Structure 1
Amino acid sequence: MPSVVSVRAFRHAARETVSGLPREFWWLWISTLVNRLGAFVATFMALYLTLDRGYSASYAGLVAALHGLGGVVSSLGGGVMADRLGRRPTMLVAQTATALSVAALGFVHHPLAIAGVAFLVGMASNASRPAVQAMMADIVRPEDRVRAFSLNYWAINLGFAISSMGAGFIAEFSYLAGFLIEAGMTLACAIVVFLKLPESRPEQPGAGGKGNKGGKGSKGSKGDEGGKGAPEEAVGLGTVLRDRRFMGVVGLSFLVAFIFQQGAIGLPVAMGAAGFTPADYGMAIAVNGVLIVVLQIPVTRFIQHRDPGRLLVVSSVLAGYGFGLTAFAGSVGVFALTVCVWTLAEIVNAPTQTGLVVRLSPVHGRGRYQGMYTLSWAVASLVAPLMSGVVIDRYGAEWLWGLCAVVGTAAGAGYAVLMRRLPAEEPATGPAAARTGEPATERATDLAGEGPAAAPADVATA
């Protein structure tokens, strides 16, 4: 009987987790899963360059840095494209370009050509992220967004966990096969978008000559005072940069991203310097993927209607001190325990942070705002390897873990200050939202606790 009850409880929880989300979201979720199932190149790129091609570790690091630099360049560009051209065209262009550049990477052999194509792969693969996140915000009701972002994050990690296991077997057979399979899977992702996903970008009333009149009840740019009481202006990158509260969140996101990057950068270096083998590191870091796949959905059920400010404070501090505890690790088991701590922080932080970006974004500027948020992670992926290496070489790994604890504390304090008087969430605007009707807006207002929801202002893209 207890087993029957537990099975029923699990089924009920699963139904509640996946119910109520629009059909378009699930096609977007499938495209994400397909994309990550084919993510082989990131896993074996360093081995391909050093073992198969015979290049040095320094050259492999340079290629990885250029790949990251491409992501930095395309973060803002992808956000602008998502707002100007639309979410669907941006994803189609980015995913098709990713498929072509990944396939090309398997055929080029000259070191300059490899470095150049790797830069293009980084640009193309990162350009679709702001569009994906903006589309998700467009089509999902405010009260469901944290759950939706969690499910998407779960798909990313599930796909990557499976592809990481398959990458080793594929690499033993043929590295070229890995490049071509990833290109094919990315192209399949673009086909899903083309066939199943309609455009979700909100129509801009100002385009016909009536726009830019804020009007009664219109929402302003969501900056220092929560965006109330002023007409919303045309949204360009300057709008994003002048939004002081949002740029503060971007800065804090960079700090948190710097901490989480240590799982792939500082942790393997420190474990290697302490005499542990690559297999030991693999066992410890595998806990991260397993916990995300197992806990992401139940933890989301617990946090989805809780105050995002408190969640971000707690997750930032937990991440910092989770890595800080690594200074006391002396065995693989203890390393794995520290991974458990900061993985829990990651599970809470990722969907909450993405949902907060949506909440602070004007409806017609979601692409640009998501692009700026994506930029914070891309820059962290560039800065973290350089800074971590310097700290470990000059002062020792213990100082790096202490720095993580300090950075996590600072980020938590920053969130505590910036999260006061959050604005109400904008209602969903995509075609799926039109089918759900008015109650979604009313529920969003009740959750936000800020009175009647204001109608979106007329906005012209810059």
Structure 2
Amino acid sequence: MHALRRWWHDTAGGLPATFWYLWTGLLINRAGAFAMLFLSLYLTDVRGASEGLAGTVVGAYGAGGAAGVLLGGVLADRWGRRATLLAAHLATAGLMVALAFSRPLLLIAVLAALTGVVHSMPSPAFVAAIVDVVPAERRSRAFNLQFWAFNLGMAVASLLAGVLAEASFTALFLVDAGATLTAAAVIGWKVPETLRLTRPAANLPPATRAASESVRIRRPGLHTALTDRTFLIFVGLTFVLAVLTMQTSTIMPLAMRADGLGPSAYGVVVALGGALIVIGQLFVPRLIDRHRKDVVLAASTALLALGFGVLAVADELAIYLGAAVVWTVGSMLAAPPNAQINADLAPPQLRARYQSVFYLTFPAAAFIAPTLGGVSLQHLGDRHWLILAGLGLLAALGHLLAGPPRERHVAALRRAADAQPKTPAGQVPIG
């Protein structure tokens, strides 16, 4: 019993109530957020689109997300975390209803792009709010639990979606809208504004300003994040990971259909990954805490490369399920250090903006993966998966090379943050 209490404390103890309300909102949202998972199948099976056209429309969703994640970061730093979350959730619900009853492919593409915008807006606000309220020493477990909630919701969503897709694709969009509204209600009711403003670097005392300049805080805005070389290297490596993981919701359904496997089989594969995370993710912190973050990320990326590489020889459900185990373990290992490094690299006054640039990798991957992947699968067949495997192994090597200089950069950022005074309430940062 003592060991169980100790494990629970190490996994979920000491986290504030606001974090748990954010966690609950995320869980509810993801449990119903399955419509876009099946968009490519909806377009090809119901709307008669070709694989290439379906990939382009799904890519429009990713392109919209690229703009939305940046917009969400700026709004979360200026307008507030709570307001950004509420606006994005309410807009998403409305767009899901519109998608449910839209017929022309052009209109669906436009709505998909707009949905990408509002779907991506909450990501930087969610993470910035978590960093706002959770002490630094507990953030790794908070991010681990965030990833757990995301995938617990996805497991539920995938099982429900596989059944609903067989009966009615319209129901997918409507249930998604209902879950999004429920998540908005939880956030609006229980989550306060968590934004904590800090003084711009230009107004700091000379000694503190010198420390800030040593870590390239030149102008407190998106410009800083977009010119931070250490941060951008990390973002680039994360982009490769995102392209790999995005295969499960964009290209893999098409490959499974070509092998004679239907939507319910795809739902089982996705649900297996979610179930593994639900069972095993809570044990990940103890497994990885004693290892360097760059080593963990290199190992996780290599596992993702191996898992998707196996699909080059997949022709039945059992092989897809085995490959899903491998890439899911890789995703599980990657989640806490990825989020922790991202939080460590962000100056406090630019927290949401850095999150927005980091999360830009995912809508960018949501555009690249289906747009290029659909063409690659059509013309290269199973060699598509071998190319992805090679790309993943190169990224694993990149993590090992980038790790030590990144840790030195983080140490300099911490020294600057420790010396930086807080801004009086009500003062708005420049940028």
TM range (shorter): 0.7 to 0.9
Q: Deviations over 1:97-150 (max 9, x none)?
A: 112222222233344333222221111111111111111111112222121111
Q: Distance in 2 between matches of 1:316 and 1:56?
A: 32
Between Structure 1 and Structure 2, the one with more helix by share is 2
The residue correspondences of 1:103-252 to structure 2 (distance < 5 A) are: 103-170=97-164, 175-206=169-200, 212-217=203-208, 220=211, 227=215, 232-252=217-237
Q: CA deviation at 1:29?
A: 0.2
The equivalent residue for 2:75 is: 81
Given that 1:218 and 1:455 are in contact with CA atoms closer than 8 Å, whether structure 2 keeps it comes out as no
**Do residues 410 (structure 1) and 394 (structure 2) align?**
yes
Describe the shift of the 1:392–1:420 C-alpha distance in structure 2 as closer, same or farther (beyond 3 A).
same
- Contact 1:217/1:454 (<8 A) preserved: no
* Cα 1:106–1:338 shift into 2, 3 Å: closer
Contact 2:305–2:391 (Cα < 8 Å) also in 1: yes
* Mean Cα deviation higher: 181-190 or 346-355: 181-190
Secondary structure (helix, strand or coil) at the match of 1:461 reads coil
Instruction: Find the aligned partners of 1:53 and 1:18 in 2 and give their Cα distance.
Output: 45
CA distance in 1, matches of 2:206, 2:420: 10
The one-letter code matched in structure 2 to 1:32 is: L
Question: What's 2:245 paired with?
Answer: 260
The alpha-carbon distance between structure 1 residues 202 and 214, as it changes in their structure 2 partners (threshold 3 A), is farther
**Are 2:340 and 1:355 equivalent residues in the alignment?**
yes
Partners of 1:324 and 1:172 lie apart in 2 by 29
Going from structure 1 to structure 2, the CA distance change for 1:166 and 1:368 (only over 3 Å counts) comes to: same
Give the conservation status (yes or no) of the 8 Å contact 2:81–2:125.
yes
Contact 2:297 2:399 in 1 (8 A): yes
Distance in 1 between residues matched to 2:87 and 2:311, nearest whole Å: 42
Which structure 2 residues correspond to residues 31-46 of structure 1 after superposition, within 5 A? 31-46=25-40
8 Å Cα contact 1:147-1:301 kept in structure 2:
no
Alignment partners' CA distance in 2, 1:41 and 1:101:
11
Per-residue CA deviation, residues 167-206 of structure 1 (Å, 9 max, x unaligned), is: 3444566554443332232122222222222222222335
- Are the counterparts in 2 of residues 360 and 423 from structure 1 also a CA contact under 8 Å? no
Kept after mapping to 2: 8 A contact 1:325/1:401: yes
> What's the offset of the Cα at 1:87?
1.3
In structure 2, distance between residues paired with 1:111 and 1:386: 16
Taking a change above 3 Å as real, the CA distance of residues 396 and 170 of structure 1, as seen in their structure-2 partners, is closer
Deviations for 1:18-46, whole angstroms, at most 9, x for unmatched residues?
11111110010011011112214224444
Cα distance in 2 for partners of 1:157, 1:287 equals 10
Aligned residues: 426
**Offset at 1:360?**
0.6
CA contact (8 A) 1:258 1:380 kept: yes
Cα distance in 1 for partners of 2:40, 2:385 equals 25
Is 1:461 aligned to 2:425, yes or no? no
Other-structure match for 2:96: 102
Q: Conserved in 2, the CA contact under 8 Å of 1:363 and 1:456?
A: no
Q: What is the match of residue 295 of structure 2? A: 310
Could you tell me how far apart the structure 1 residues matched to 2:205 and 2:391 are? 40
**What's the counterpart of residue 430 of structure 1?**
none
2: CA distance between counterparts of 1:161 and 1:293? 8
From the superposition, tell whether residues 385 and 40 of structure 1 become closer, same or farther in structure 2 (CA, over 3 Å): closer
Q: Is the 8 A contact 1:256 1:408 kept in 2?
A: yes
Q: Structure 1 74/282 Cα, relative in aligned 2: closer, same or farther at 3 Å?
A: closer
Whether the 8 Å contact between 1:284 and 1:333 is mirrored in structure 2 is no
Q: Cα gap change, 1:357/1:106 in structure 2, threshold over 3 Å: closer, same or farther?
A: same
Code of the residue aligned with 1:179 in structure 2: it is F
1:342 aligned residue (327, 344, 347) = 327
1:411 shift after superposition: 1.1
Larger displacement relative to structure 2 (281-290 or 46-55): 46-55
TM-score by structure 1 length? 0.81
CA–CA distance in 2 between the matches of 1:390 and 1:173? 29
Q: Which moved more, 1:270-279 or 1:317-326?
A: 270-279
Unmatched 5+ stretches in structure 2: 424-428
Change (3 A) 1:294 1:219: farther
Instruction: Give the distance between the partners of 2:87 and 2:130, measured in 1 at CA.
Output: 18
Aligned letter for 1:317? A
Q: Using the alignment, how far apart are the partners of 1:19 and 1:100 within structure 2?
A: 37
Deviation at 1:290, TM superposition (A): 1.7
Change (3 A) 1:148 1:338: same
Q: In angstroms, what is the RMSD of aligned CA positions? A: 3.2
Q: State the match for 1:297 in structure 2.
A: 282
For structure 1, the 5+ residue unaligned runs are: 427-444
The answer to whether the 8 Å contact 1:218/1:457 transfers is no
1:345 alignment partner AA: G
1: CA distance, partners of 2:409 / 2:80: 21
Structure 1: which amino acid aligns with 2:158? S
Return closer, same or farther for 1:197/1:290 CA change in 2, 3 Å cut-off. same
| CA distance in structure 2 between the aligned counterparts of 1:91 and 1:249, rounded to whole angstroms | 26
Cα displacement string for residues 274-324 of structure 1 (whole angstroms, at most 9, x for unaligned residues): 565665555444432221111111113322464212211221222222323
**Is 1:359–1:424's contact at 8 Å kept on the other side of the alignment?**
no
Please, which of 387, 390, 394 is the counterpart of residue 372 of structure 2? 387
